[in-house]
Structure 1
Amino acid sequence: MLGEYPIEGRRAADISASIERAVGEGALEPGQLLPPMRELAVHLGVNPNTVAAAYRTLRERGVIETQGRRGSRVRAKPATTGRERAVVSVPEGVRNLADGNPDPALLPPLAPAFAAATSGRPDALYGEEPVDAELARLARAAFDADGVPDGPLVVASGSLDAVERVLAVRLKPGDAVAVEDPGWNRVLDLVPALGLRIVPFAVDDEGPVPGAFRAALESGARAVVVTDRAQNPTGAAVGAGRARELRAILREFPDVLVIEDDHGHGIVDLPLHPLGGVTRHWAFVRSVAKAYGPDLRVAVMTGDAVTVDRVRGRQRLGAGWVSLLVQRAVVWLWREGGVDPAVVGGAYRARRDLLIEALAERGVAARGRSGLSVWIPVDDETGVVARLLRAGWAVAAGERFRVGAAPGIRVTVSSLGESAAEVTAFADAVAEAVKGASSWGVV
């Protein structure tokens, strides 16, 4: 039986490399159970401690996960190149409401911004300041207006890049990170890939549920990641009252690292209620991809001086800086009002409300307070997703976004548009899919 596993080696490094290579090549599939350590040790003729060390290395690299007595298995999205096999293509003729992209019609043209960024400017050379001075000035003014605490600035290549850098410079493998559940699947994949442990907490329309939030911190979480607005996948947004509750809880845990993701800036018509500055260590990240286009990889981050300095130091040793040309293009877009948050946020709100109301009329509950997503709780994700696909609609299964939360599906309203007839057709399809899945079980 063990011979079926493409695992070999006598040293821990060789065994872990063999398993990682097998995962990357597809010989070991996502979710596949690995042999028990003692059995593999006998099969390879090595000490069980050698296999334990190999498995530990793979856990720290985010390739496998251990589930107590249930054993070790390949992660659903392992940190190896083979994980791209998990991307599901949408068949021709099927409407894609699953991809999480903004509506291209609501994005500004970028050509004028890049033309302005290059006009009359010398090319950037090594040794220049890594943050454009005008970008820093505008970002700081916007932070001040939104109540974000004062702190130094650094620019990263998008929000996930910033989150990864902060976690890497502040935590060590084995530390626990409290994350939203359901939450952004990229964060759920990133945390274990860094060798960190996930501690999930529930969210509702107002953001983190206080009791669950407190429990996660009491369990020993060293850091917490919160999405302030346009939470993916539920559309939650932290309100004023909820922010006061969460800040009060955080004051009891002054050593916890608080990371806030404001990727919804520019596409949300709700005010920001930040949490940063309550604890000793914090980072606030504001990206532009959702408002100005996914290929515009810029996120401005502020935080406590030590955290930002560590991120800057690691950045200097690697990429060095985010293109100053791209930063200056963002400056032009900010100055010229490339995006009106009231207009864009209002457009997305209208689409969410239209869909939620249509679903409610058909007896289907849904949530979506801000951003691009509507979350629909369902009993049988697999059945509902399959039935909708057959009806011509692709949605995202909730399993991608949750740890222990109840099942659901995520719908990207930016792809649905504002057509009442189209929303009605989709709502009808959802109602039929939910009814069918409940009646007949998994399809």
Structure 2
Amino acid sequence: MATQYEISGTSAKGIGASIEQGVAEGALPPGTALPPVRRLAERLGVSPGTVATTYKELRQRGIVVTRGRGGTVIADAPAVASRRPPPVPPGVRDLAGGHPDPAFLPALLPPARLSPGARSHRSVPRLARLEELTRAWYEADGVPSEHVTFAHGALDCAARLLSAELRPGDAVAMEDPGYHHLLDLVAALGLRSVPVAVDDEGMRPDALRSALRAGARAVICSPRSQNPCGGCFSARRRDELVEVLRAAPEVLLIENDHNSAIAGVPLHTLTAGGLPRWAQVRTVSKFLGTDLRWAALACDATTLARHDGRLLLTSGWVSHVLQEMVVRLWTDPATWDLLDTARTAYAQRRTALVEALAARGVAGHGASGMNVWVPVRDEAAAVSGLRTRGWWVASGARFRLAAAPGVRVTTAALPVADAPRLAEDLAAVLGESQATYGG
């Protein structure tokens, strides 16, 4: 309870300014509980409605959050930058970055002609040919394609969707462990992450149901190649999750199918479940080029209008030069031959490590995608131990909300022949850590 700082004011604006001053001066640190509406109203001699309006305005601006029976509290300071991984030490093999193998990225093909002159593309923001290709791409996987648009990447798209749909203090159901940049983005927008446990089939239905009961107004999930655990929806899991979401028709679903063309597993998408509010974003950075900041978005009509309305007011459109480059790569037969090779190689490399770990009694999770998640007791000990053996892997801390510790190993550029040696080293490191804990 805020007892050391005296809130003052006789109007909603004045009371709000007093609370903001307390926050700025550090007298009301994050987590400080504010007085209940009626109690503060009696103390200040104003109506409860005035205090309620104050709290509502502060909540919309991300200064306070409401936690049900926990009352209204000062919000945590939002993140302003992503938690970047530590630099890769010299002399070790980097298996921490989550990047594709450069050998499987096609050579970038510049546009046949550059976009002429200084002119606005707001009236025609999408190239007709790329929009046609995008619709076919979605339809091939059973994703409704009536409404499609473009963005500058998955994070750009997610930020626009969340900021148009939610207000600071609202809750978002997030995979746990999950993609660390998305976790940081949600915090930076002044939103609250509600952890949803995952397994080899992606989000668990019981955990999602709990998150919705806790007030989540949006859900962000990966239908396959879940980062960092590699889970992918089965048909049964898809149906179970759709059933959970049907009970919350006001919630916005955002699917992030970032590895689509190289996932190596079928897509069982929630977007085909007849939900009223949904979106699926796909990017090309993992298989056409990490510098191609282009994403496709399929969604319901309301979501499309809100996304494109925000886009129109900011960047206006995605560069037509960039769009033309994507079209050229997409329509080049050599690109798809290379992606076929990549899809097979990524699956073989991931599977090789999972099987090599299993042969040594170590659990590894990687049903799809480019990464393998290995549960550990001590992340720092695991990362340090592998470093001494010449490997650099990612500590799981930046991927977790409430999940148990683990490390993420990127297998995209790990040859099958090297999997046994890495598994042997990892098993040895975990054995040393267990001996330490066991005394």
1:289 to 260, 285, 288: 285
1:418 to 411, 415, 419: 415
Taking a change above 3 Å as real, the CA distance of residues 73 and 166 of structure 1, as seen in their structure-2 partners, is closer
Q: Per-residue deviation at 1:124?
A: 7.0
Q: Per-residue deviation at 1:100?
A: 0.8
- Deviation per residue, 1:373-407 (Å, 9 max, x gap): 00001111121111112222111111111111111
- Indicate conservation of the 8 Å contact 1:16/1:57, yes or no: no
Quote the residue 1:375 is aligned against: 373
Quote the residue 2:250 is aligned against: 255
2:62 to 60, 63, 88: 60
Taking a change above 3 Å as real, the CA distance of residues 344 and 123 of structure 1, as seen in their structure-2 partners, is farther
Quote the residue 2:359 is aligned against: 361
1:241 to 226, 236, 251: 236
AA in 1 matched with 2:198:
V
Size of the aligned set, in residue pairs, is 395
CA distance in 1, matches of 2:75, 2:435: 33
- Indicate conservation of the 8 Å contact 2:23/2:29, yes or no: no
- Deviation per residue, 1:107-129 (Å, 9 max, x gap): 0000xx2143x27x645721441
TM-score normalized with structure 1 length: 0.81
SS of residue paired to 1:322: coil
Taking a change above 3 Å as real, the CA distance of residues 91 and 137 of structure 1, as seen in their structure-2 partners, is same
Quote the residue 2:218 is aligned against: 223
- Indicate conservation of the 8 Å contact 1:183/1:233, yes or no: yes
Q: Per-residue deviation at 1:174?
A: 1.5
Do residues 339 (structure 1) and 339 (structure 2) align?
no
Which 5+ residue runs of structure 1 have no aligned equivalent?
Answer: 1-9, 20-32, 39-48, 63-67
CA distance in 2, matches of 1:140, 1:11: 52
Q: Per-residue deviation at 1:304?
A: 1.1
Taking a change above 3 Å as real, the CA distance of residues 170 and 73 of structure 1, as seen in their structure-2 partners, is closer
Quote the residue 1:327 is aligned against: 323
Do residues 391 (structure 1) and 389 (structure 2) align?
yes
CA distance in 2, matches of 1:138, 1:313: 23
AA in 1 matched with 2:79:
A
CA distance in 1, matches of 2:31, 2:204: 38
Do residues 140 (structure 1) and 135 (structure 2) align?
yes
AA in 1 matched with 2:357:
L
- Deviation per residue, 1:274-297 (Å, 9 max, x gap): 112532211111111111121100
Taking a change above 3 Å as real, the CA distance of residues 219 and 405 of structure 1, as seen in their structure-2 partners, is same
- Indicate conservation of the 8 Å contact 1:154/1:308, yes or no: yes
CA distance in 2, matches of 1:218, 1:170: 19
Taking a change above 3 Å as real, the CA distance of residues 35 and 208 of structure 1, as seen in their structure-2 partners, is closer
1:268 to 258, 263, 272: 263
Q: Per-residue deviation at 1:58?
A: 12
Quote the residue 2:80 is aligned against: 80
- Indicate conservation of the 8 Å contact 1:159/1:285, yes or no: yes
CA distance in 2, matches of 1:361, 1:323: 49
Quote the residue 1:191 is aligned against: 186
CA distance in 2, matches of 1:232, 1:219: 24
Q: Per-residue deviation at 1:37?
A: 5.7
Which 5+ residue runs of structure 2 have no aligned equivalent?
Answer: 1-16, 34-50, 65-69
Do residues 162 (structure 1) and 160 (structure 2) align?
no
Taking a change above 3 Å as real, the CA distance of residues 92 and 59 of structure 1, as seen in their structure-2 partners, is farther
- Indicate conservation of the 8 Å contact 2:353/2:419, yes or no: yes
Q: Per-residue deviation at 1:36?
A: 8.2
CA distance in 2, matches of 1:432, 1:250: 43
248-257 or 322-331, which deviates more: 248-257
Quote the residue 1:206 is aligned against: 201
Q: Per-residue deviation at 1:11?
A: 6.6
CA distance in 1, matches of 2:165, 2:214: 18
- Deviation per residue, 1:40-80 (Å, 9 max, x gap): xxxxxxxxx9xx99xx7899389xxxxx89x98977xx633
CA distance in 1, matches of 2:427, 2:242: 39
Q: Root-mean-square deviation (CA), in Å?
A: 3.2
Taking a change above 3 Å as real, the CA distance of residues 253 and 333 of structure 1, as seen in their structure-2 partners, is same
AA in 1 matched with 2:159:
E
Taking a change above 3 Å as real, the CA distance of residues 310 and 410 of structure 1, as seen in their structure-2 partners, is same
226-235 or 145-154, which deviates more: 145-154
CA distance in 1, matches of 2:74, 2:374: 31
Q: Per-residue deviation at 1:139?
A: 0.5
Q: Per-residue deviation at 1:441?
A: 4.1
Taking a change above 3 Å as real, the CA distance of residues 58 and 412 of structure 1, as seen in their structure-2 partners, is farther
CA distance in 2, matches of 1:208, 1:358: 26
CA distance in 2, matches of 1:36, 1:256: 26
Do residues 314 (structure 1) and 310 (structure 2) align?
yes
Map of 1:6-45 to 2, 5 A cutoff? Answer: none
AA in 1 matched with 2:148:
L
AA in 1 matched with 2:245:
L
Q: Per-residue deviation at 1:306?
A: 1.3
Taking a change above 3 Å as real, the CA distance of residues 309 and 88 of structure 1, as seen in their structure-2 partners, is same
Q: Per-residue deviation at 1:332?
A: 1.3
AA in 1 matched with 2:386:
L
- Indicate conservation of the 8 Å contact 1:268/1:344, yes or no: no
SS of residue paired to 1:203: strand
1:125 to 113, 119, 122: 119
Taking a change above 3 Å as real, the CA distance of residues 232 and 35 of structure 1, as seen in their structure-2 partners, is closer
Q: Per-residue deviation at 1:15?
A: 6.8
Quote the residue 2:105 is aligned against: 107
CA distance in 1, matches of 2:376, 2:348: 23
Taking a change above 3 Å as real, the CA distance of residues 36 and 281 of structure 1, as seen in their structure-2 partners, is closer
CA distance in 2, matches of 1:89, 1:11: 43
- Indicate conservation of the 8 Å contact 1:61/1:79, yes or no: no
CA distance in 1, matches of 2:61, 2:308: 27
TM-score normalized with structure 2 length: 0.82
Do residues 171 (structure 1) and 173 (structure 2) align?
no
Do residues 429 (structure 1) and 425 (structure 2) align?
yes
CA distance in 1, matches of 2:23, 2:244: 41
